[in-house]
Amino acid sequence: MPSTRTEAIPVNDGEMGAHLAVPDAGTGPGVLLLQEIGGVNGYIRDVAERLADLGYVTLAPDVFWRVQPGFAVERFTEETMGQAAAIVGQFDGEAGLADLGQALEHLRELPEVVGGVGVVGFCFGGTYTFLMAAEYEPDVAVAYYGSGIAGAIDRASDVECPLLVHFGGNDPFLPAADIEAITAATTSMSNIEILVQPDAGHAFDNHASEMFHDPAAAATAWTRTVAFLSMHLPNA
């Protein structure tokens, strides 16, 4: 079972906490895991363990530390979605992206990290995975249902690493027209792959939230994610 600890990441004007999961081998390539709007909750820690089980040293930063350090909701309901949305409304995107750039560098410098580093993110973190791929040159990136990607699609030409983007075909937060626009903008880019689960909605990987979880779509997408990471961020 992976070992875990809390990391303190120095950033421009403070310190950001993070959950770290280290594989049984003790070393491996690094993955920066970017949370949904629910924070670094049990679900995100479970994903960190999944990635550590694959051999990746996984760091999940507390992205909302400037607004409410340690904010987390364990299960999405209408009420907790509202709570999370209120936190997101106070989030400084420019400062937050800079924080994540420093978190990626912190990950690279951890003694357990051997080899390259990638970024994997879900929902809110899916959008920021795309932005990280455009801004900070990770070795690989996997973004799940980032509803803000369409609004930042002009950055696609800045993405040089292999990037896998997962969407649900019935996502109420991501219109089909947005998925079509993203696909059209990246179709000529051999480093970017778009994979749509036709019948899935938003946050289909989140097994902690019944209102979103789609086990079949989650399994299909995760199988492709594992293969993509294995190809572009292999364990030595």
Say how far apart CA 100 and CA 224 lie, in whole Å: 25
List the chain pLDDT tens, one digit each, 236 residues. 899 999 999 998 899 999 999 999 999 999 999 999 999 999 999 999 999 999 999 999 999 999 999 999 999 988 998 999 999 999 999 999 999 999 999 999 999 999 999 999 999 999 999 999 999 999 999 999 999 999 999 999 999 999 999 999 999 999 999 999 999 999 999 999 999 999 999 999 999 999 999 999 999 999 999 999 999 999 86
Query: Exposed, middle or buried: residue 46 (CB in 10 Å: 0-12, 13-18, 19+)?
Result: middle
Q: In this structure, what token pair is assigned to residue 195?
A: 């994979």
Residue-wise burial string across 120-158, b where 16 or more C-beta atoms lie within 10 A, e elsewhere: bbbbbbbbbbbbbbbbbebbbbbbbbbbbbbebbeebee
Q: Report the 10 Å Cβ neighbour count for 110.
A: 16
Give the total number of structural domains in the chain: 1
Residue 139's Cβ-side half-sphere holds a number of Cα atoms within 13 Å equal to 19
Quick: pLDDT tens for 83-110. 999 999 999 999 999 999 999 999 999 9
**Residues recognised as catalytic:** 123, 171, 202
Say how far apart CA 214 and CA 199 lie, in whole Å: 9
CA torsion angle for 11, 13, 17, 23 (degrees, to 10)?
Answer: 10
Residue 119: per-residue pLDDT: 98
Q: Which residue has the tokens 């951890």?
A: 110
How many residues belong to the chain? Answer: 236
Q: Note down the domain range covering 228.
A: 3-232
Q: Is residue 132 within 8 Å of residue 118, measured between CB atoms?
A: no
Q: Phi/psi zone of residue 58: left (φ > 0), alpha (ψ -120 to 50 degrees), beta?
A: beta
- Looking up residue 223, the CATH number of its domain turns out to be 3.40.50.1820
Say how far apart CA 129 and CA 68 lie, in whole Å: 21
Q: Report the 10 Å Cβ neighbour count for 232.
A: 20
Q: In this structure, what token pair is assigned to residue 54?
A: 């694959």
Strand 3-11 relative to strand 14-22, pairing: antiparallel
Quick: pLDDT tens for 67-88. 999 999 999 988 998 999 999 9
Residue 76: per-residue pLDDT: 93
- H/E stretch holding 18 reads strand 14-22
CA torsion angle for 44, 234, 104, 222 (degrees, to 10)?
Answer: -30
